[in-house]
């Protein structure tokens, strides 16, 4: 509508002025409701053609969208395990800092597991002391066994020497008995040495491994205990938080509330532009926006990112093939817009719906020396109609409150 009015000023109005002041035709006499088309046919035809050309140039080289929204993420407040709420540290719509406690679940079971793990470590430490005592006892037993073995060996060697000198002095049966005693004492020495090695293995390998396992179990029990307290991951504001002591919460149920990050939706707009502008939208383009939540204000912006895919083409693995006809509505090019100046989004609530324009700038191309005259003139026209689009956006900013409150019945 605004484009038609602008074009009519350049076409219909001059045609009317010629008819009125040059040809002397008056409204209500020569120019009536029935003859207006014939009398102003040149101006009306030129107005329609100019409007079509202007709209084509504006909307293609200076894309516009009414689907620009300051999206923001929300963080569900959920524990990692289920349980009954024991204590709540915050209230409804409180502002929290990162790391601040929100609520705590009943932790009696986790505390019992933690105490059990601690007792297990104490048992292993006591096992270390017992093993050291057994090691001392094993040394004493080895010394005792070695002494007995040496005594038996000495007696065996003495009587064997006597028998060798005089066979009738010591009976062969006695020599065999002493030999058996020596072998038995030697086996006893080997047994107590093996017993000492077993104790040493307990001290050097088994008990340390058991202690490490117990320490790991203690750490796991501590982690499970820590999970009973839910903390704020980022600074923000609590919304829909109605949790009270005694409530049962479960990570698979609905969240206990929602945490809105402090900076959510306050840094950028995400706009959906027509696929036709895929070759026009570039990073670095200057843009402007006006939001319903902040009327009569134009926010200078810049294009910081252009998503290189269209969301409607995404495919999910399923047992059915997707027919292209199922995509009834074509998707849009997702563009990220950020304020050109610091504080540009001050006063714009997250989630606001906005109208955004992006402007093609041919300043660098116009500075090229080998640019043809027709091409130079065309680029100047493109930059000029960008000014028209900027004026249209300002008209929209002025009419937006009226359109929202009066014509759409908004409150």
Q: Residue 371's domain is classified under what CATH number?
A: 2.40.30.170
151 with 255, same domain: the answer is: no
Residue 411 lies in a domain: no
pTM flag (> 0.85): no
Q: What total of structural domains would you count in the chain?
A: 4
Out of 185-189, 330-334, 346-350, 390-394, least confident range: 185-189
248 with 368, same domain: the answer is: no
**Residue predicted with more confidence, 66 or 163:** 66
Query: Looking at 210, 227, 244, which one is the last position of a domain?
Result: 227
Say whether 405 sits in a helix, a strand or coil.
helix
214 with 171, same domain: the answer is: yes
296 with 390, same domain: the answer is: yes
Residue 192 lies in a domain: yes
Residue 86 lies in a domain: yes
Q: Is the pLDDT of residue 25 over 90?
A: no
Q: What pLDDT, on the 0 to 100 scale, is given for residue 287? A: 93
Q: Which domain holds residue 98?
A: 75-104+229-261
Out of 202-206, 214-218, 227-231, 301-305, least confident range: 202-206
269 with 399, same domain: the answer is: yes
CB atoms within 10 A of CB 411: 5
Cα–Cα dist 325/310, whole Å: 16
Q: What pLDDT, on the 0 to 100 scale, is given for residue 1? A: 62
Q: Which two tokens stand for residue 217?
A: 């179990």
Q: Is the pLDDT of residue 46 over 90?
A: no
Q: What pLDDT, on the 0 to 100 scale, is given for residue 41? A: 74
Residue 322 lies in a domain: no
pLDDT band at residue 240 using 50, 70 and 90 as cut-offs: confident
Out of 6-20, 187-201, 212-226, 301-315, least confident range: 6-20
Q: Residue 91's domain is classified under what CATH number?
A: 2.40.50.100
Cβ atoms of 152 and 178 closer than 8 Å: yes
Q: What pLDDT, on the 0 to 100 scale, is given for residue 410? A: 52
Cα–Cα dist 76/87, whole Å: 19
98 with 238, same domain: the answer is: yes
220 with 276, same domain: the answer is: no
Find the mean pLDDT for residues 122-141. 84
Residue 12 lies in a domain: yes
Q: What pLDDT, on the 0 to 100 scale, is given for residue 409? A: 57
Q: What pLDDT, on the 0 to 100 scale, is given for residue 34? A: 67
Cα–Cα dist 221/357, whole Å: 57
Cα–Cα dist 106/249, whole Å: 11
Exposure string over 157-193, b if 16+ CB within 10 A, otherwise e: eebeeebeeeeeebeeebbeebeebbeebbebbeebe
Out of 12-26, 77-91, 304-318, least confident range: 12-26
Residue 184 lies in a domain: yes
146 with 93, same domain: the answer is: no
Q: What pLDDT, on the 0 to 100 scale, is given for residue 80? A: 85
Q: Residue 197's domain is classified under what CATH number?
A: 1.10.287
Rama region for 300: left / alpha / beta (φ>0; ψ in -120 to 50; rest): beta
Residue 392 lies in a domain: yes
122 with 236, same domain: the answer is: no
235 with 87, same domain: the answer is: yes
Q: What pLDDT, on the 0 to 100 scale, is given for residue 33? A: 67
Q: What pLDDT, on the 0 to 100 scale, is given for residue 359? A: 92
Give me the residues paired with residue 338 across strands: 302
Q: Is the pLDDT of residue 411 over 60?
A: no
381 with 343, same domain: the answer is: yes
What is the pLDDT of the chain when averaged over all its residues?
A: 83
Q: Is the pLDDT of residue 44 over 90?
A: no
Residue 17 lies in a domain: yes
Q: How long a stretch of residues is the chain?
A: 411
Query: Looking at 201, 227, 253, which one is the last position of a domain?
Result: 227
272 with 399, same domain: the answer is: yes
């Amino acid at each position: 509508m605004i484009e038609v009015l602008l074009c009519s000023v350049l076409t219909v109005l001059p045609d009317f002025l010629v008819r009125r002041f040059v040809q002397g035709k008056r409204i209500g006499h020569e120019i009536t409701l029935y003859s207006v088309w014939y009398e102003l046919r040149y101006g009306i035809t030129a107005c329609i053609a100019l409007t079509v050309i202007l709209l084509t140039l504006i909307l293609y080289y200076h894309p516009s969208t009414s689907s620009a929204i300051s999206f923001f993420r929300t963080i569900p407040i959920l524990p990692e395990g289920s349980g009954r709420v024991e204590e709540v540290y915050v209230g409804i719509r409180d502002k929290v800092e990162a790391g601040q406690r929100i609520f705590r679940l009943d932790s009696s079971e986790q505390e019992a597991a933690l105490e059990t793990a601690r007792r297990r470590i104490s048992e292993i430490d006591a096992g270390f002391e017992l093993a050291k005592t057994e090691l001392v006892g094993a040394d004493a037993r080895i010394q005792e066994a070695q002494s007995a073995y040496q005594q038996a060996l000495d007696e065996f060697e003495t009587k064997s020497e006597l028998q060798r000198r005089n066979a009738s002095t010591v009976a062969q049966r006695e020599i065999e008995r002493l030999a058996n005693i020596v072998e038995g004492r030697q086996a006893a020495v080997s047994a107590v040495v093996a017993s000492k090695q077993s104790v040493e293995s307990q001290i050097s390998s088994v008990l340390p491994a058991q202690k490490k396992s117990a320490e790991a179990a203690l750490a796991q029990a501590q982690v499970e205990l820590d999970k009973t307290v839910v903390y704020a991951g980022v600074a923000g504001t609590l919304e829909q938080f109605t949790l009270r002591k005694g409530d049962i919460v479960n990570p698979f149920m609905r969240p206990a509330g929602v945490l809105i990050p402090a900076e959510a939706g306050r840094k950028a707009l995400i706009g959906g532009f027509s696929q036709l502008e895929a070759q026009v939208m570039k990073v670095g383009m200057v843009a402007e926006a006006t939001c319903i939540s902040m009327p009569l204000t134009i926010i200078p912006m810049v294009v910081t990112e252009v998503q290189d895919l269209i969301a409607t083409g995404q495919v999910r693995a399923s047992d059915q093939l997707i027919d292209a006809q199922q995509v009834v509505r074509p998707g849009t090019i997702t563009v990220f817009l950020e304020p050109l100046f610091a504080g540009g989004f001050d006063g714009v609530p997250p989630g606001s719906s906005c109208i955004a324009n992006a402007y093609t700038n041919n300043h660098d191309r116009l500075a090229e020396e080998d640019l043809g005259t027709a091409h130079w003139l065309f680029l100047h026209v493109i930059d000029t109609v960008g000014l028209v689009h900027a004026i249209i956006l300002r008209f929209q900013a002025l009419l937006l409150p009226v359109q929202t409150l009066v014509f759409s019945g908004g409150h």
